[in-house]
Chains A and B, each alone.
Chain A
Amino acid sequence: SQTIHQWPATLVQPVGSPLSLECTVEGTSNPNLYWYRQAAGRGLQLLFYSVGIGQISSEVPQNLSASRPQDRQFILSSKKLLLSDSGFYLCAWSVSLRLAGGHNEQFFGPGTRLTVL
């Protein structure tokens, strides 16, 4: 069965500090990978997605970046955090429609609660 891991679970960082959030998926190959941010009690904002190693699509201009160094690893980074970067960050995977069809059902990790002070 497939599992998705995110760490850390919670993070408190000062403004201007760097950020690195990691997500890994087990039990599947060639997944699509996604980073979302969620404000309290609200919907999901797609930040980045990737359909393969080194392939990153950015949805929202901001001071965050993403990388996919391995097939099942997705990293969200920032060089200098802003107060507005606080939120709940969710990583998700889906089966690649290009390879297997389907409906892009998203399978989420447990999330990282980031507080920037």
Chain B
Amino acid sequence: TQLLEQSPQFLSIQEGENLTVYCNSSSVFSSLQWYRQEPGEGPVLLVTVVTGGEVKKLKRLTFQFGDARKDSSLHITAAQPGDTGLYLCAGDSKTSYDKVIFGPGTSLSVIP
């Protein structure tokens, strides 16, 4: 069974701190996506990583795709309260060309 695991499940930090969250699997993915979901809203796509070892930056967020394309990380520098939310990773499904599978998410709370 194809699974994506995310760690930590919950994270509470002070404003200005740095953090890293992880998305891991035993399966190889052709791409991985990261989404952020604020309470009561739908998830919003942040980035898609495609190439093993790829690093993408989105302002204070840095995304990395593992060399073997089985894992990914999201690093946030100088976290702000606006970064609070549920961070979800997702990857292409091996059982269907038309769907993705989601990890369980990391819930981040940034305290002012």
A104 to B88 alpha-carbon distance, docked (Å): 15
Beyond A42-B104, A43-B105, A49-B98, whether A108 also contacts B44 by CB under 8 A is: yes
In the complex, which residue of chain B has the Cβ closest to the Cβ of A105? B45
How many interface contacts (CB-CB < 8 Å) are there between A and B?
A: 63
In A65-117, the 8 Å CB interface with B consists of: 90, 92, 96-98, 103-111, 113
Interface size on B, residues (CB 8 A): 27
Is A106 touching B40 in the complex (CB atoms < 8 A)? Answer: no
Q: How far is the CB of B28 from chain A (nearest CB, A)?
A: 14
Is B98 touching A51 in the complex (CB atoms < 8 A)? Answer: yes
Q: Of the candidates B42, B97, B102, B103, which one forms a contact with A109 in the assembled complex, judged by CB atoms under 8 Å apart?
A: B42
Listed in ascending order, the chain B residues whose CB lies under 8 Å from chain A are 30-31, 33, 35, 40-45, 48, 50, 86, 88, 90, 92, 96-105, 107
Listed in ascending order, the chain A residues whose CB lies under 8 Å from chain B are 32, 34, 41-44, 46, 49, 51, 57, 90, 92, 96-98, 103-111, 113
